[in-house]
Amino acid sequence: MTDICVLSPAKINLGLSIIGRRTDGYHEIQTVFQKIALYDEITIKQTDVRGSISLRVSDPSVPDDMSNLAAKAAALLIHEYDIRCGISITINKRIPAGAGLGGGSSNAAATLRAMNTLFMLNLSEVQLKHHARALGADVPFFVTDISTAYGFGIGDQLLPVHMGVPFWTLIVFPNIPIATSWAYEAFSKYNLLTKQKKRISYINSFNTLEDIINNLVNDFELVVFPAYPRIRMLRERLLECGARGALLSGSGSSVFGVFDSYAACRDAYDVFAEEKNSLRFCAQALVQP
């Protein structure tokens, strides 16, 4: 085998609490990660030039140099395991950048997994997660087969969660890229840690849609909504369109609504057609078999 093609899923956060700032500058969080059926497609091929990495990305807003997390993931494995060829990476993007949907982290994890298969490295999930942590806090979640997970620490410590509720999400991205670093800095600047009212506790199973709805809280809304009122408005419109619950995903700027059926999700999707300069996606939550 000289090439491999893999899917790289997006995620939403079914809850996110910021607990405090660590001495190393990172923030302690509690969150529930949920993979959804919105995918980038990544193709990796062997090339003849040892150690070389070439990258092509369909979205011109995403870097196609070594600052891209997928390229960093490839470089890490090439160096660590003395892979004696080069690789080319092609990423066909559907997950928008700067949307709070984890596209970059997912691409990095998919690259790690694909190269593990392509070069028969036989790395265990524990080993892959070790390499994933070096790339970013969200990457360990994507490198696992877990569809739903409780994340703590900086988000890299994971406990599996049983998702017993099939549900659909309508994701609306208003084309406002938000840097996670800005969101954390704003949160710290206004000392919002003292104003938190709810923590995300570990729940080992979501058995009803109400279990999901009751968990929907995101501390980043405290800084994102005042700075970007349009994003708050989009979340409110999701509720008006029949979402059982709605939330900012990650640090934004995507918001998502939770629906109990595809039909209800699609009806809301059609309503948002009039929303200019926005992208929208109907995506089912991925459920562990």
Alpha carbon distance 19, 258 (integer Å): 25
Structure tokens at 103: 């596209």
Q: What beta strand segments (E) does 194-241 contain?
A: 205-206
Alpha carbon distance 16, 27 (integer Å): 12
Residue in 220, 210, 218 with CA at minimum distance from that of residue 258: 210
Alpha carbon distance 251, 238 (integer Å): 18
Instruction: Return the sign of the alpha-carbon dihedral for residues 23, 33, 197, 171.
Output: positive
- Catalytic: 11? yes
- Catalytic: 35? no
Instruction: Decide if 43 contacts 90 (C-beta within 8 A).
Output: yes
Alpha carbon distance 77, 131 (integer Å): 8
Catalytic residue among 11, 35, 93, 129: 11
Residue in 33, 83, 34 with CA at minimum distance from that of residue 285: 34
In sequence order, the 6+-apart residues with CB closer than 8 A to the CB of 176 are 98, 228, 230, 231, 252, 253
Catalytic residue among 40, 138, 156, 219: 138
Strand partners, 281: 171
Instruction: Calculate the dihedral angle through the C-alpha atoms of 222, 227, 228, 233, rounding to the nearest 10 degrees.
Output: 50
Point out the residues that are catalytic.
11, 138
